[in-house]
Amino acid sequence: MNILILSAGTRDKIVQYFKKEIGDRGKVIATDCSNLAPAVYDADVFYLVPRMTAPNYLEVILDICRKENIQGVFSLIDPELSLLAKERAKFLEVGTTPIISDYDLVETCFDKYRMYELLRKMQIPTGKCYRDKEVFYRAVEAGEISYPVFVKPIKGSASIHINKVGSRKEIEVLFDLYEDLMIQEYMDGTEYGADVYIDMISGKCTDIFIKKKIRMRAGETDKSVSCKDGELFALIQKFVEECGFRGMIDIDIFRIDGQYYISEVNPRFGGGYPHAYACGVNIPRAVIRNLEGLENEAAIGAYAENVCMMKYNEIAIRDMNGMEIIP
């Protein structure tokens, strides 16, 4: 059982978890376009690859899959998820299963307005969104929404170019500066995150871990506490199964006046997944079982409450003598 983790970057915990779960049954291979990506040195094998935008990138990755007899592949960065989903057939031809939902669903996750429309169609509570600022202004005049609001890219990640604004003038400035923006209702409530796994064989949701976010940093959860709520478990299970998600996904949720609202969906490991793993929600094991042809049994909510995660800084030191440093 050999697993390929693309664009490992700084996500050393994910590499370590898969190595632990595979044990002596196989290897974990990692790639990155930089040899200063610390997570790759936790893998059994590291490949320095071109940037994802390089014309030969896909063939380089497929060659690694052939050479290392890779059974499953996933990526830890958003742009690469679309590539894996779109080129699924090419990976399957070399015996490698992309651990990702289908292409159209992945693209919907990365288009915040499309996700808003999908949630509305499914009658799942979510914050109001507007692509047309003039429509938004009319909604303000009609009392349907009020300031402050968020102005953000329709497609984007890591909280880049997201601005909380309180006036029409600020919106005009941002829409002049950037393209493909949308206006989103400011969700003034308690923020939660959910780490979710949907079995790749049965299509059933088998794992949900909920954490209340205490502090955020650069778009990722910095401090959180585990919690449970049967109502939220049911909402998430309905959503992911009806949409047809597969593998691991990360969901951002708000609770306002006793009601849960789904905000964003990321079809990959979230930055706060180590909290779930430490509490016993073992998604790497579920992935490996699926790749071995085994379905996973549902274990939704099988973890302890009131367990806190606190991220802190660490460093990696490596002697690079005799090597070209590629940042």
Q: How far apart are CA 188 and CA 180, in angstroms?
A: 24
Strand partners, 74: 5
Residue 252's CB is within 10 A of a number of other CB atoms, namely 19
Question: What residues of the chain score a pLDDT lower than 70?
Answer: 156-160
Query: pLDDT at position 285, please?
Result: 98
Instruction: Give the amino acid at 214.
Output: I
Angstrom CA distances, 143 to 91, 135, 137, 138, stand at 51, 12, 10, 9
The model's pLDDT over 187-222, given as tens digits with 9 standing for 90+, comes to: 999 999 999 999 999 999 999 999 999 988 777 788
Two structure tokens written together for 210: 């909920």
3-state secondary structure of 135: helix
180: exposed, middle or buried (Cβ count in 10 Å: 0-12, 13-18, 19+)? exposed
The model's pLDDT over 7-22, given as tens digits with 9 standing for 90+, comes to: 999 999 999 999 999 9
Residue 48 has, within 13 A of its CA and on its CB side, a CA count of: 10
Query: pLDDT at position 33, please?
Result: 98
**What contacts 88, CB < 8 A, 6 or more positions away?**
98, 100, 102, 103
Query: pLDDT at position 160, please?
Result: 64
Q: In what order do the strands lie in the sheet with 97-98?
A: 45-48, 28-32, 3-6, 72-75, 97-98
Angstrom CA distances, 93 to 85, 96, 97, stand at 14, 7, 9
User: What percentage of the chain has pLDDT greater than the value 70?
Assistant: 98
User: What percentage of the chain has pLDDT greater than the value 90?
Assistant: 93
**12, 13, 42, 39: which is closest to 27 by C-alpha?**
42
**What contacts 203, CB < 8 A, 6 or more positions away?**
241, 244, 246
Query: pLDDT at position 297, please?
Result: 97
